[in-house]
Amino acid sequence: MTRSVKKRLGLMLCLIVMVFTVSGCGHKGRSNNDTIKIGVCVYDQYDTFLTQLINSFDAEVENDVLVEYVYASQNQSTQNDQVQSMIEKGVDVLCVNLVDRTAPTTIIDLARKNDVPIIFFNRELVEEDLMQWSKLYYVGADAYESGTLQGEIAAKECKKNMDKIDANGDGVIQYVVLEGEAGHQDSIVRTEYSVNTMIEKGVSVEKVGYAIANWNRSQAQTKMAQLIEKNGNEIELVLANNDDMALGAVDAYGAAGYPAERRPAIFGIDGTDIGLNAVADGTILGTVYNDKEGQAKAMYGIAVALAKGESVDGFGLTDGKYIRLPYTIVDSSNVDEFLK
Ligand code: GAL
């Protein structure tokens, strides 16, 4: 083989490897020796809030950083395999949104064995698990705060418009709760704190039903349709653990032929684009903004610092481990500030 043929073959091989690395694996950015590699593992690809959180994260990514995103279709053993394969590919740091927040040990063991730090996000593992290794962190928000704030908006609306919301005029608000996944910290805590806050604020309430709808709009529509079937006009208020389920409730009332003025007061949490628009047009009365941009920025900043072997002290981590971004109430009075 002549020298020029060898050189051309070498160049072709190099190009093939580059194409595989940059586009074949779904990576973002360029690959060279200085490139930071971040692996991001998400519990499911069909979750509205997480899709927007990941979009915000992606918007942070700079040119010399390569990010691979994988989705586990709600299966923890799939996610364990994805983590293993990311580590084998040589990621510097992992961001993990656990499928089962009570089962992080396989992932933690893999990461520790290979010295790859992990930033867990959104689905909060228990403190003992986060303490298993010094290079584990959590970025999210305070579930108690979201429940409390939802209860505050609901109580405020009830006081302002009691005549309208208390449709049967008995002085008590008959309500239902649409819950997220069973066992998820946000479902458990939001459900409890939103209702307790309404009571603390002096609203008399009576629970007439609840349903688990796994954060999902169409599941919420189906479950809400059953609740309407069973309770008819009795339901005066709906507390949904997130915006998608609040909108599922709206869909159910639409499908059941209820005109806007005969529907209950409906409240969500998240402030997703679709949730904010629903507040703006009055379809739902309020939501609680879950600061995806702040969470994405914190995750990205910490991930890059860890990948470079730098200190993360400047990020204001609580107990050296936690970042929790604050929630904010959104109703008709301030929704415009949140809409882009
Ligand atoms: C919650 C969010 C839900 C859903 C869930 C997934 O914080 O409010 O909409 O995205 O996380 O873990």
Domain that holds residue 148: 144-289
Q: Which of 19-28, 29-38, 76-85, 260-269 has the lowest mean pLDDT?
A: 19-28
Give the pLDDT confidence score for residue 7 in this predicted structure. 41
Task: Identify whether residues 163 and 282 lie together within a single domain.
Answer: yes
Task: Identify whether residues 167 and 277 lie together within a single domain.
Answer: yes
Q: What is the DSSP string of 20-67?
A: IIIIIT--BS--STT-EEEEEEES-S--HHHHHHHHHHHHH--TTEEE
Contact 138, 120 (CB under 8 A): yes
Question: How sure is the predictor about 31, in pLDDT bands with cuts at 50, 70 and 90?
Answer: very low
Tell me if 331 is assigned to some domain.
no
Task: Identify whether residues 156 and 236 lie together within a single domain.
Answer: yes
With tokens 């694996």, the residue in question is 25
Tell me if 23 is assigned to some domain.
no
Q: Total structural domains in the chain?
A: 2
Tell me if 17 is assigned to some domain.
no
Task: Identify whether residues 234 and 197 lie together within a single domain.
Answer: yes
Nearest to 269 by CA among 282, 278, 260, 259: 278
Q: Identify the helix (H) or strand (E) that includes residue 94.
A: strand 93-96
Q: Percent of the chain scored above 70 by pLDDT? A: 90
Sheet with 65-71, edge to edge strand ranges: 65-71, 36-42, 93-96, 118-121, 136-141, 322-325
What number is the average pLDDT over the span 270-275?
A: 98
Which two structure tokens, joined as six digits, stand for 23? Answer: 């586009």
Tell me if 93 is assigned to some domain.
yes
**Residue 203 has what DSSP assignment?**
-
Task: Identify whether residues 268 and 160 lie together within a single domain.
Answer: yes
Q: Report the C-alpha gap between 224 and 222 in whole angstroms.
A: 6
Sheet with 265-267, edge to edge strand ranges: 205-212, 173-179, 237-240, 265-267, 286-289, 328-331
Q: Report the C-alpha gap between 215 and 46 in whole angstroms.
A: 10
Summarised one tens digit per residue, pLDDT across range 54-80 is 999 999 999 999 999 999 999 999 999
Tell me if 30 is assigned to some domain.
no
Tell me if 112 is assigned to some domain.
yes
> Where does ligand 1 bind, in terms of residues with CB under 6 Å?
47, 49-50, 122-123, 180, 186, 215, 242, 269-270, 290
CATH classification of the domain holding 226: 3.40.50.2300
Task: Identify whether residues 47 and 166 lie together within a single domain.
Answer: no
Tell me if 16 is assigned to some domain.
no
Task: Identify whether residues 223 and 94 lie together within a single domain.
Answer: no
The Å distance, Cα 195 to ligand 1 centre, comes to 19
Task: Identify whether residues 167 and 253 lie together within a single domain.
Answer: yes
Which two structure tokens, joined as six digits, stand for 134? Answer: 């010094």
Task: Identify whether residues 227 and 160 lie together within a single domain.
Answer: yes
Q: Report the C-alpha gap between 105 and 122 in whole angstroms.
A: 17
**Residue 313 has what DSSP assignment?**
G
Atom 10 in ligand 1: residue holding the nearest Cα: 49
Q: What is the DSSP string of 259-305?
A: -GGGSPEEE-SB--HHHHHHHHTTSSSEEEE--HHHHHHHHHHHHHH
Question: How sure is the predictor about 33, in pLDDT bands with cuts at 50, 70 and 90?
Answer: low
Tell me if 318 is assigned to some domain.
yes
Summarised one tens digit per residue, pLDDT across range 178-221 is 999 999 999 999 999 999 999 999 999 999 999 999 999 999 99
Task: Identify whether residues 240 and 108 lie together within a single domain.
Answer: no
The Å distance, Cα 69 to ligand 1 centre, comes to 18
Q: Report the C-alpha gap between 337 and 315 in whole angstroms.
A: 26
97 CA: nearest ligand 1 atom? 12
Q: Report the C-alpha gap between 302 and 113 in whole angstroms.
A: 21
The Å distance, Cα 14 to ligand 1 centre, comes to 42
The Å distance, Cα 185 to ligand 1 centre, comes to 10
Total-model pTM: 0.90
Task: Identify whether residues 103 and 151 lie together within a single domain.
Answer: no
184 CA: nearest ligand 1 atom? 12
Task: Identify whether residues 118 and 151 lie together within a single domain.
Answer: no
Q: Report the C-alpha gap between 327 and 160 in whole angstroms.
A: 23
The Å distance, Cα 71 to ligand 1 centre, comes to 15
